[in-house]
Amino acid sequence: MTCSKRYKIQKKVRDHKRKVRKEAKKSGFKKPKKDITIPNDAPFKEDVLREAELRKQRREELKQAQKLERQKEVAKKRNIERTKSDSPEKKKTEKTEKKEKSKLKSGNRSNDIPERSLCGEVKKVIEASDVVLEVLDARDPIGSRCVQAEEAVLRFPNKKLFLILNKSDLVPKANLEKWLCFLNKEIPTLVFKCSTQVQERKLEEKKVKPGCIDVSHGTVCYGGNALLRLLHDLCPSPNIGIKVGIIGFPNVGKSSLINSLRQIHVCKVGAMKGTTKVLQEVNIDNQIKMIDGPGLVVSPSNREVTVTLRGIHQAVGDGVLGAVNIILKHSDKQQVMLQYNISDFRNPLEFLTLLAHKRGMLKKGGIPDTESAAKLLLNDWIGAKLSYHSSPPAAKCQHIDGAMTGRLREGLNLGLLEADNLQTVKALKCPSSASSISFKSPGLTSGILDENEIVQKEEQMAVDQEPEDPDSEEDDNALGEADKEDEDSGDKSPEVSEEPDSTQKNDIKAIPPKDGIRSVCFDKQEDADSYDFNRDFV
């Protein structure tokens, strides 16, 4: 045998042994331990071994007997359960339980629909509070205002209403100052920026020295001290506190505002719509108790872009793709390209394809995942990440007049409020106008506070989805019988009674009418070869 062949065999043997050892290690195989043997010199060795073997046999017989007993007990239990299930009384009880469940479901349809409960919770927040804070998104303040909610608050003469410009660090300072000036003419407005640090339990309030600008971004709260000072001024006395209700559309930062003031995570927050579903009271200090509630219900009668930005893009157009198309139509194309660092695009689908390639969102075979890219874009626009801004409108809101504005300003130190806003704006680290996307605001958003409106819309949808009226079927049957009578009367003529063959139908053009005989017409069908390409494809 040659050396090369011998070395090759030895190598294969070593590889095989290594493979066997690895498989044994994975399967948890261990070498069996050797039993303690009796030395040959020990006396009565055979008797000891015989006794050990007998003990082993007895142990195995005992195990087998216990196993048989367990099997018998299990079989008895199964037989008892079968007899119970086959009994007619149990069948009757099951039927009655199913009927009761169906009745409860049909009677409590309001519990299946969350919008009704949300409307009731928002009403409770407004009625139970002395001061109402309407939280707005600073990127689109006029679009996040609800006329119906403001009118519901202003119906009570003793309630105060304030506007909170949240997410103020996502818009340019010049645009923020314009919105602050516009909103202050109608309702007292305060600039605010919630803390977004969720990795720690303790939230911090940033202390900024006057005249200094802080460059920290995203982890601290701005405007908290000013808001607490404003609320303490509204308290009747040091011993009497007030209840502050917080309202607004979903994803504007209502629960985050309470967490920032409390400096601890007491309210559940999330990027998904509908994180807060029930009313929750939180004590900020001895005098201030805040009431957190669910978001306002957006009316489907709003424009598509409004419904999309309020977080219910599933009902718009073609889902997320339709929502992206709507957002891109109302945004500056060049600034969107700079924001996402992509090249020029001709349509929304091409934009999503480029974005998917840029972020590495690819399916099997390198196909871009446009749906995931669309969800990413929507999460950026709805959440507190993307910077875009809108311009204030030229006209004021019609539901707020001068007398109402004067009543809301009573008992407020407007000079101190303005100074606090200027200090907060100065301390914020805002993006420049070039790095922010300009957006065309759709205007005020209509909300639903009355449960009857939802009920009427549901009934209307149910009426639209009902099948056709059975009377129409009766009319069709009557027409069919009349046609049969006509055919029976025409059977006397041999020309009409005999139906032409399928080969002869194309050759028959028309039968001239005769006295007392129905005329039958068979249109001549064109052959596939008679298609004129020069006429249609010029």
Looking at residue 526, its pLDDT comes to 47
Looking at residue 413, its pLDDT comes to 86
Q: Indicate the SS3 state at residue 431.
A: coil
- Kindly state the average pLDDT of the residues 428-456: 79
Looking at residue 70, its pLDDT comes to 92
Provide the total of helices (H) and of strands (E) in the chain, helices listed first.
21, 10
* 199 CB-near residues (< 8 Å, 6+ apart): none
Residue with tokens 């977080």, as numbered in its chain: 311
Residue 163, CA distances (Å) to 131, 138, 204, 426, 445 in order: 11, 11, 23, 19, 15
pLDDT digits (tens, 9 = 90+) for 333-363: 888 888 888 888 888 889 999 999 988 999 8
Looking at residue 309, its pLDDT comes to 76
CA distance 175 to 173: 5
Question: Which token pair is 535?
Answer: 């006429």
Q: What is the mean pLDDT of the chain?
A: 76
CA distance 279 to 125: 7
Q: Indicate the SS3 state at residue 387.
A: coil
- Kindly state the average pLDDT of the residues 367-384: 85
DSSP 529: G
Looking at residue 17, its pLDDT comes to 95
Choice between 14 and 405, residue whose per-residue pLDDT is larger: 14
Choice between 527 and 236, residue whose per-residue pLDDT is larger: 236
DSSP 410: T
pLDDT digits (tens, 9 = 90+) for 47-93: 888 898 999 999 999 999 999 999 999 999 888 888 876 666 666 66
160-166 and 131-137 beta bridge pairing: parallel
Q: Are 176 and 430 in contact (CB under 8 A)?
A: yes
Q: Does the pLDDT of residue 389 top 70, yes or no?
A: yes
Residue with tokens 């707020």, as numbered in its chain: 400
Looking at residue 273, its pLDDT comes to 59
DSSP assignments along 341-361, one per residue = T----SSHHHHHHHHHHHHT-
**Full 3-state SS string of 4-30:** HHHHHHHHHHHHHHHHHHHHHHHCCCC
Least Cα distance to 135 among 177, 197, 191 occurs for 191
CA distance 168 to 136: 10
CA distance 107 to 101: 10
Choice between 41 and 498, residue whose per-residue pLDDT is larger: 41
**Range list of β-strands (E), 172-237:** 189-191
Structural domains of the chain, ranges and CATH numbers in brackets: 114-299+389-458 (3.40.50.300), 304-381 (1.10.1580)
Choice between 270 and 127, residue whose per-residue pLDDT is larger: 127
CA distance 427 to 220: 11
Choice between 80 and 107, residue whose per-residue pLDDT is larger: 80
Q: Dihedral through CA 299, CA 304, CA 309, CA 310, nearest 10?
A: 10
Radius of gyration of the chain (CA): 40
- Model confidence at 394, in pLDDT bands (50, 70, 90)? confident
Looking at residue 72, its pLDDT comes to 92
Half-sphere exposure of 448 (CA within 13 A, CB side): 21
- Kindly state the average pLDDT of the residues 9-28: 91
DSSP 282: E
Q: Indicate the SS3 state at residue 247.
A: strand
CA distance 380 to 309: 11
- Model confidence at 250, in pLDDT bands (50, 70, 90)? confident
DSSP H or E stretch at residue 456: helix 451-464
Looking at residue 224, its pLDDT comes to 86
Q: Are 249 and 118 in contact (CB under 8 A)?
A: no
For residue 203, the Cα-to-chain-centroid distance in whole angstroms is: 27
Residue 236, CA distances (Å) to 94, 168, 191, 291, 405 in order: 61, 31, 24, 19, 21
Q: Does the pLDDT of residue 220 top 80, yes or no?
A: no
For residue 318, the Cα-to-chain-centroid distance in whole angstroms is: 15
Of 245-249, 390-394, 478-482, minimum mean pLDDT range: 478-482
Where is mean pLDDT largest: 199-213, 215-229, 489-503? 215-229
Looking at residue 214, its pLDDT comes to 41
Looking at residue 460, its pLDDT comes to 55
Q: Does the pLDDT of residue 329 top 70, yes or no?
A: yes
Q: Does the pLDDT of residue 255 top 80, yes or no?
A: yes
